[in-house]
Structure 1
Amino acid sequence: MTTPDSRTWRLLAPKKPPRLPPKGERWGGMLRPATLITLGIVGAIIATVWIGVAVSRPTAPTTLEGVTAEVMTEVDTVTGLLGDPVEPADDATQVIPCPDGGAGQQYVVTRTESLPASVNPRDAIDVVTGAYEQREWKVSSSPFGSEGGREALLIGKNLVPIELTLVPDGTTLQATIHSESRCTAAP
Protein backbone atom coordinates (compact mmCIF):
# COMPACT_ATOMS: atom_id res chain seq x y z
CA MET A 1 0.00 0.00 0.00
CA THR A 2 1.26 3.41 -0.87
CA THR A 3 0.79 6.54 1.19
CA PRO A 4 -0.76 9.53 -0.54
CA ASP A 5 1.54 12.33 -1.40
CA SER A 6 0.81 15.69 0.30
CA ARG A 7 0.38 17.23 -3.16
CA THR A 8 -2.71 15.13 -3.78
CA TRP A 9 -4.58 16.54 -0.78
CA ARG A 10 -4.94 20.14 -1.98
CA LEU A 11 -8.18 22.06 -1.71
CA LEU A 12 -7.53 23.97 -4.90
CA ALA A 13 -5.74 22.85 -7.96
CA PRO A 14 -2.26 24.28 -8.40
CA LYS A 15 -2.27 27.35 -10.59
CA LYS A 16 0.38 28.62 -12.86
CA PRO A 17 1.80 31.97 -11.89
CA PRO A 18 0.55 34.81 -14.05
CA ARG A 19 2.81 35.95 -16.83
CA LEU A 20 2.75 38.78 -19.31
CA PRO A 21 1.59 37.85 -22.78
CA PRO A 22 4.15 38.08 -25.56
CA LYS A 23 4.42 41.28 -27.58
CA GLY A 24 1.62 41.77 -30.05
CA GLU A 25 -0.94 39.55 -28.25
CA ARG A 26 -3.99 40.96 -26.49
CA TRP A 27 -4.11 41.07 -22.73
CA GLY A 28 -6.41 38.37 -21.62
CA GLY A 29 -6.66 38.01 -17.85
CA MET A 30 -7.00 41.42 -16.26
CA LEU A 31 -8.83 43.27 -19.01
CA ARG A 32 -11.86 41.06 -19.13
CA PRO A 33 -15.27 42.79 -18.98
CA ALA A 34 -15.96 41.52 -15.42
CA THR A 35 -12.74 43.10 -14.18
CA LEU A 36 -13.53 46.42 -15.84
CA ILE A 37 -17.07 46.42 -14.37
CA THR A 38 -15.70 45.66 -10.90
CA LEU A 39 -13.18 48.49 -11.18
CA GLY A 40 -15.96 50.85 -12.28
CA ILE A 41 -18.13 49.92 -9.29
CA VAL A 42 -15.24 50.32 -6.84
CA GLY A 43 -14.39 53.70 -8.39
CA ALA A 44 -18.01 54.85 -8.06
CA ILE A 45 -18.09 53.82 -4.38
CA ILE A 46 -14.83 55.66 -3.66
CA ALA A 47 -16.11 58.78 -5.43
CA THR A 48 -19.40 58.67 -3.49
CA VAL A 49 -17.64 58.37 -0.14
CA TRP A 50 -15.19 61.14 -1.02
CA ILE A 51 -18.01 63.50 -2.06
CA GLY A 52 -19.97 62.64 1.10
CA VAL A 53 -17.01 63.42 3.35
CA ALA A 54 -16.17 66.62 1.49
CA VAL A 55 -19.73 67.95 1.58
CA SER A 56 -20.82 66.89 5.07
CA ARG A 57 -20.49 69.40 7.90
CA PRO A 58 -19.28 68.47 11.37
CA THR A 59 -21.73 68.82 14.26
CA ALA A 60 -19.29 71.04 16.15
CA PRO A 61 -19.36 74.70 15.18
CA THR A 62 -16.40 75.88 13.15
CA THR A 63 -17.11 79.60 12.77
CA LEU A 64 -16.44 82.32 15.33
CA GLU A 65 -20.17 82.95 15.65
CA GLY A 66 -20.81 79.25 16.26
CA VAL A 67 -18.15 78.76 18.93
CA THR A 68 -19.20 82.03 20.61
CA ALA A 69 -22.80 80.82 20.81
CA GLU A 70 -21.67 77.45 22.16
CA VAL A 71 -19.61 79.02 24.97
CA MET A 72 -22.21 81.66 25.87
CA THR A 73 -24.94 79.00 26.09
CA GLU A 74 -22.94 77.11 28.71
CA VAL A 75 -21.99 80.27 30.64
CA ASP A 76 -25.66 81.31 30.68
CA THR A 77 -26.63 77.83 31.92
CA VAL A 78 -24.17 78.06 34.83
CA THR A 79 -25.41 81.58 35.63
CA GLY A 80 -28.99 80.32 35.71
CA LEU A 81 -28.05 77.47 38.06
CA LEU A 82 -26.41 79.91 40.51
CA GLY A 83 -29.61 81.88 41.04
CA ASP A 84 -30.49 85.56 40.91
CA PRO A 85 -27.52 87.93 41.20
CA VAL A 86 -27.52 91.04 43.39
CA GLU A 87 -26.57 93.15 40.38
CA PRO A 88 -26.26 92.41 36.65
CA ALA A 89 -23.38 90.24 35.51
CA ASP A 90 -20.34 91.76 33.86
CA ASP A 91 -18.81 89.97 30.85
CA ALA A 92 -15.23 90.47 29.71
CA THR A 93 -14.79 88.92 26.27
CA GLN A 94 -12.01 88.68 23.75
CA VAL A 95 -11.07 86.83 20.61
CA ILE A 96 -7.56 85.39 20.65
CA PRO A 97 -5.48 83.37 18.17
CA CYS A 98 -5.51 79.60 18.66
CA PRO A 99 -2.75 78.34 20.94
CA ASP A 100 -1.64 75.81 18.31
CA GLY A 101 -0.34 78.64 16.13
CA GLY A 102 -2.85 77.93 13.35
CA ALA A 103 -5.02 80.44 11.53
CA GLY A 104 -8.08 79.76 13.75
CA GLN A 105 -9.41 81.87 16.61
CA GLN A 106 -10.80 81.27 20.09
CA TYR A 107 -13.54 83.11 21.96
CA VAL A 108 -12.81 83.73 25.66
CA VAL A 109 -15.36 84.98 28.20
CA THR A 110 -15.05 85.79 31.90
CA ARG A 111 -18.34 86.57 33.62
CA THR A 112 -18.34 88.05 37.11
CA GLU A 113 -21.43 88.54 39.22
CA SER A 114 -22.36 89.12 42.84
CA LEU A 115 -24.73 86.69 44.54
CA PRO A 116 -26.47 87.29 47.89
CA ALA A 117 -24.31 86.56 50.93
CA SER A 118 -26.92 84.01 52.03
CA VAL A 119 -25.81 81.68 49.22
CA ASN A 120 -23.54 78.94 50.53
CA PRO A 121 -20.58 78.36 48.14
CA ARG A 122 -20.57 74.59 48.75
CA ASP A 123 -24.33 74.27 48.06
CA ALA A 124 -24.11 76.44 44.93
CA ILE A 125 -21.18 74.39 43.57
CA ASP A 126 -23.07 71.15 44.36
CA VAL A 127 -26.09 72.37 42.36
CA VAL A 128 -23.94 73.25 39.33
CA THR A 129 -21.79 70.11 39.42
CA GLY A 130 -24.85 67.89 39.93
CA ALA A 131 -26.55 69.38 36.87
CA TYR A 132 -23.45 68.88 34.73
CA GLU A 133 -22.84 65.35 36.01
CA GLN A 134 -26.33 64.46 34.79
CA ARG A 135 -25.24 65.68 31.35
CA GLU A 136 -22.22 63.33 31.66
CA TRP A 137 -19.64 66.08 31.85
CA LYS A 138 -16.30 65.61 33.64
CA VAL A 139 -16.73 67.51 36.90
CA SER A 140 -14.32 68.32 39.74
CA SER A 141 -14.61 70.73 42.66
CA SER A 142 -12.35 71.78 45.51
CA PRO A 143 -11.99 74.44 48.22
CA PHE A 144 -10.68 77.83 47.09
CA GLY A 145 -8.92 80.34 49.30
CA SER A 146 -9.07 80.64 53.06
CA GLU A 147 -12.47 82.38 53.30
CA GLY A 148 -14.56 79.26 52.50
CA GLY A 149 -14.67 79.68 48.74
CA ARG A 150 -15.14 76.82 46.28
CA GLU A 151 -14.10 76.22 42.69
CA ALA A 152 -15.25 73.77 40.05
CA LEU A 153 -13.98 72.68 36.65
CA LEU A 154 -16.53 71.37 34.16
CA ILE A 155 -15.46 69.78 30.87
CA GLY A 156 -18.05 68.51 28.45
CA LYS A 157 -18.05 66.13 25.51
CA ASN A 158 -17.77 69.21 23.31
CA LEU A 159 -14.41 69.94 25.06
CA VAL A 160 -15.49 73.40 26.21
CA PRO A 161 -14.04 73.94 29.71
CA ILE A 162 -15.90 76.02 32.27
CA GLU A 163 -14.14 77.23 35.40
CA LEU A 164 -16.42 78.42 38.21
CA THR A 165 -15.08 80.16 41.34
CA LEU A 166 -17.22 81.30 44.28
CA VAL A 167 -15.59 83.49 46.93
CA PRO A 168 -17.35 85.15 49.93
CA ASP A 169 -16.74 88.91 49.94
CA GLY A 170 -18.28 90.25 53.13
CA THR A 171 -21.76 91.26 52.00
CA THR A 172 -21.89 89.21 48.79
CA LEU A 173 -20.62 86.03 47.19
CA GLN A 174 -18.46 86.77 44.14
CA ALA A 175 -18.95 84.31 41.27
CA THR A 176 -16.49 84.14 38.38
CA ILE A 177 -17.25 81.97 35.35
CA HIS A 178 -14.46 81.58 32.79
CA SER A 179 -14.64 79.63 29.53
CA GLU A 180 -12.74 79.32 26.26
CA SER A 181 -14.14 78.02 23.02
CA ARG A 182 -12.61 75.48 20.70
CA CYS A 183 -10.59 76.85 17.79
CA THR A 184 -12.42 77.95 14.69
CA ALA A 185 -11.63 76.49 11.30
CA ALA A 186 -9.03 78.34 9.31
CA PRO A 187 -10.65 80.87 6.95
Structure 2
Amino acid sequence: MPQLLAGLGLYGASMALMVRASLGVNPWDVLHQGLQRHLGLSMGAWVTITGALVLLLWIPLRQVPGIGTIGNILVIGAAMDLTLGLIAAPEGWLARTALLTAGIVLNGLATGLYIGARLGPGPRDGLMTGLHRRTGRSLRLIRTGMELTVVTIGFLLGGTVGLGTITYALAIGPLAQFFLRYCAVAPREAA
Protein backbone atom coordinates (compact mmCIF):
# COMPACT_ATOMS: atom_id res chain seq x y z
CA MET A 1 0.00 0.00 0.00
CA PRO A 2 2.78 2.53 0.76
CA GLN A 3 4.37 1.75 -2.62
CA LEU A 4 1.02 2.30 -4.36
CA LEU A 5 0.44 5.64 -2.63
CA ALA A 6 4.00 6.81 -3.31
CA GLY A 7 3.62 5.87 -6.96
CA LEU A 8 0.29 7.63 -7.36
CA GLY A 9 1.49 10.77 -5.58
CA LEU A 10 4.65 10.85 -7.67
CA TYR A 11 2.60 10.29 -10.83
CA GLY A 12 0.48 13.37 -10.14
CA ALA A 13 3.55 15.44 -9.21
CA SER A 14 5.37 14.37 -12.38
CA MET A 15 2.39 15.41 -14.50
CA ALA A 16 2.51 18.84 -12.86
CA LEU A 17 6.21 19.18 -13.71
CA MET A 18 5.42 18.53 -17.37
CA VAL A 19 2.66 21.14 -17.28
CA ARG A 20 4.96 23.73 -15.70
CA ALA A 21 7.66 23.04 -18.34
CA SER A 22 5.21 24.38 -20.97
CA LEU A 23 6.71 22.26 -23.74
CA GLY A 24 3.77 19.89 -24.26
CA VAL A 25 2.15 17.39 -21.91
CA ASN A 26 1.19 13.73 -22.06
CA PRO A 27 -1.79 12.87 -24.31
CA TRP A 28 -4.37 12.62 -21.50
CA ASP A 29 -3.22 15.94 -20.06
CA VAL A 30 -3.74 17.55 -23.46
CA LEU A 31 -7.37 16.51 -23.01
CA HIS A 32 -7.43 17.73 -19.39
CA GLN A 33 -6.02 21.12 -20.44
CA GLY A 34 -8.63 21.46 -23.17
CA LEU A 35 -11.43 20.63 -20.74
CA GLN A 36 -10.02 23.09 -18.21
CA ARG A 37 -9.84 25.81 -20.83
CA HIS A 38 -13.50 25.41 -21.81
CA LEU A 39 -15.17 24.25 -18.62
CA GLY A 40 -13.04 25.61 -15.79
CA LEU A 41 -11.98 23.59 -12.75
CA SER A 42 -8.37 22.64 -12.07
CA MET A 43 -6.21 20.25 -14.06
CA GLY A 44 -6.25 17.82 -11.14
CA ALA A 45 -10.04 17.96 -10.97
CA TRP A 46 -10.20 16.98 -14.65
CA VAL A 47 -7.73 14.14 -14.04
CA THR A 48 -10.06 12.87 -11.31
CA ILE A 49 -13.29 13.36 -13.28
CA THR A 50 -11.87 11.77 -16.43
CA GLY A 51 -10.57 8.80 -14.42
CA ALA A 52 -14.01 8.26 -12.90
CA LEU A 53 -15.71 8.52 -16.31
CA VAL A 54 -13.26 6.06 -17.84
CA LEU A 55 -13.96 3.70 -14.94
CA LEU A 56 -17.65 3.72 -15.94
CA LEU A 57 -16.57 2.33 -19.32
CA TRP A 58 -15.33 -0.75 -17.47
CA ILE A 59 -18.91 -1.81 -16.67
CA PRO A 60 -19.83 -3.25 -20.09
CA LEU A 61 -16.33 -4.77 -20.31
CA ARG A 62 -16.84 -6.52 -16.96
CA GLN A 63 -13.55 -5.23 -15.62
CA VAL A 64 -13.15 -5.33 -11.83
CA PRO A 65 -11.38 -2.41 -10.14
CA GLY A 66 -8.91 -2.88 -7.34
CA ILE A 67 -7.88 -0.59 -4.52
CA GLY A 68 -5.17 0.76 -6.84
CA THR A 69 -7.81 1.69 -9.40
CA ILE A 70 -9.78 3.74 -6.89
CA GLY A 71 -6.58 5.21 -5.46
CA ASN A 72 -5.55 6.23 -8.97
CA ILE A 73 -8.74 8.25 -9.37
CA LEU A 74 -8.51 9.89 -5.94
CA VAL A 75 -4.77 10.55 -5.49
CA ILE A 76 -3.25 11.53 -8.84
CA GLY A 77 -5.38 14.62 -9.49
CA ALA A 78 -4.95 15.88 -5.93
CA ALA A 79 -1.17 15.38 -6.09
CA MET A 80 -1.08 17.17 -9.42
CA ASP A 81 -2.98 20.21 -8.12
CA LEU A 82 -0.84 20.32 -4.96
CA THR A 83 2.37 20.27 -7.02
CA LEU A 84 1.04 22.88 -9.47
CA GLY A 85 0.41 25.12 -6.46
CA LEU A 86 3.99 24.67 -5.22
CA ILE A 87 6.04 24.82 -8.43
CA ALA A 88 6.25 27.89 -10.64
CA ALA A 89 6.98 27.77 -14.35
CA PRO A 90 10.71 28.23 -14.94
CA GLU A 91 12.14 30.75 -17.35
CA GLY A 92 14.48 29.80 -20.13
CA TRP A 93 14.63 26.88 -22.51
CA LEU A 94 17.23 24.93 -20.50
CA ALA A 95 15.27 25.08 -17.23
CA ARG A 96 12.03 24.13 -18.98
CA THR A 97 13.73 21.21 -20.75
CA ALA A 98 15.21 20.01 -17.45
CA LEU A 99 11.77 20.19 -15.78
CA LEU A 100 10.17 18.30 -18.66
CA THR A 101 12.86 15.62 -18.53
CA ALA A 102 12.47 15.26 -14.76
CA GLY A 103 8.70 14.99 -15.15
CA ILE A 104 8.93 12.25 -17.79
CA VAL A 105 11.54 10.20 -15.90
CA LEU A 106 9.63 10.53 -12.61
CA ASN A 107 6.44 9.53 -14.42
CA GLY A 108 8.19 6.34 -15.56
CA LEU A 109 9.28 5.63 -11.98
CA ALA A 110 5.77 6.39 -10.68
CA THR A 111 4.28 4.01 -13.23
CA GLY A 112 6.66 1.27 -12.11
CA LEU A 113 5.75 1.90 -8.47
CA TYR A 114 1.96 1.88 -8.80
CA ILE A 115 1.73 -0.95 -11.33
CA GLY A 116 4.39 -2.90 -9.45
CA ALA A 117 2.29 -2.72 -6.28
CA ARG A 118 -0.19 -5.10 -8.01
CA LEU A 119 -3.26 -3.55 -6.37
CA GLY A 120 -5.26 -2.85 -9.52
CA PRO A 121 -4.69 -1.04 -12.79
CA GLY A 122 -5.48 2.61 -13.39
CA PRO A 123 -8.76 3.38 -15.17
CA ARG A 124 -7.10 3.92 -18.56
CA ASP A 125 -4.99 0.76 -18.29
CA GLY A 126 -8.04 -1.27 -17.31
CA LEU A 127 -10.00 0.14 -20.24
CA MET A 128 -7.17 -0.89 -22.54
CA THR A 129 -6.95 -4.45 -21.18
CA GLY A 130 -10.76 -4.79 -21.13
CA LEU A 131 -11.04 -3.70 -24.77
CA HIS A 132 -8.22 -6.09 -25.65
CA ARG A 133 -10.00 -8.99 -23.95
CA ARG A 134 -13.37 -8.18 -25.60
CA THR A 135 -12.13 -7.38 -29.12
CA GLY A 136 -9.02 -9.55 -29.45
CA ARG A 137 -7.14 -6.54 -30.86
CA SER A 138 -3.55 -5.98 -29.79
CA LEU A 139 -2.83 -3.92 -26.68
CA ARG A 140 -0.55 -1.72 -28.77
CA LEU A 141 -3.32 -0.95 -31.28
CA ILE A 142 -5.91 -0.26 -28.58
CA ARG A 143 -3.64 1.95 -26.47
CA THR A 144 -2.41 3.86 -29.51
CA GLY A 145 -6.01 4.43 -30.60
CA MET A 146 -6.95 5.66 -27.13
CA GLU A 147 -3.98 8.03 -26.93
CA LEU A 148 -4.54 9.43 -30.43
CA THR A 149 -8.22 9.98 -29.68
CA VAL A 150 -7.66 11.90 -26.43
CA VAL A 151 -4.75 13.96 -27.78
CA THR A 152 -6.80 14.94 -30.84
CA ILE A 153 -9.85 15.94 -28.78
CA GLY A 154 -7.63 17.79 -26.30
CA PHE A 155 -5.77 19.62 -29.07
CA LEU A 156 -9.06 20.67 -30.67
CA LEU A 157 -10.13 22.01 -27.25
CA GLY A 158 -6.90 24.01 -26.92
CA GLY A 159 -4.62 21.64 -24.98
CA THR A 160 -0.85 21.92 -25.38
CA VAL A 161 0.77 19.53 -27.85
CA GLY A 162 4.50 19.95 -28.28
CA LEU A 163 7.93 18.45 -27.92
CA GLY A 164 6.98 17.14 -24.48
CA THR A 165 4.01 15.25 -25.89
CA ILE A 166 6.16 13.49 -28.47
CA THR A 167 9.01 12.84 -26.03
CA TYR A 168 6.58 11.39 -23.48
CA ALA A 169 4.97 9.14 -26.08
CA LEU A 170 8.37 7.76 -27.13
CA ALA A 171 9.94 7.48 -23.67
CA ILE A 172 7.21 6.36 -21.27
CA GLY A 173 7.03 2.72 -22.40
CA PRO A 174 10.75 2.03 -22.06
CA LEU A 175 10.96 4.00 -18.79
CA ALA A 176 8.00 2.20 -17.23
CA GLN A 177 9.41 -1.17 -18.28
CA PHE A 178 12.82 -0.29 -16.81
CA PHE A 179 11.45 0.87 -13.45
CA LEU A 180 8.90 -1.95 -13.20
CA ARG A 181 11.79 -4.43 -13.05
CA TYR A 182 12.86 -2.88 -9.76
CA CYS A 183 9.46 -2.00 -8.33
CA ALA A 184 7.35 -5.11 -8.96
CA VAL A 185 6.10 -6.75 -5.78
CA ALA A 186 6.27 -10.53 -5.95
CA PRO A 187 2.81 -12.07 -6.38
CA ARG A 188 1.41 -13.81 -3.33
CA GLU A 189 1.40 -17.58 -3.33
CA ALA A 190 -2.03 -19.19 -3.30
CA ALA A 191 -2.74 -21.01 -0.03
State the TM-score bracket (shorter-chain normalisation).
under 0.3
User: TM-score, with normalisation over the residues of structure 2?
Assistant: 0.25
Between Structure 1 and Structure 2, the one with more strand by share is 1
| Structure with max Cα Rg | 1
Ranked by relative contact order (alpha carbons within 8 Å, sequence separation 6 or more), the top structure is 2
Between Structure 1 and Structure 2, the one with more helix by share is 2
User: TM-score, with normalisation over the residues of structure 1?
Assistant: 0.25
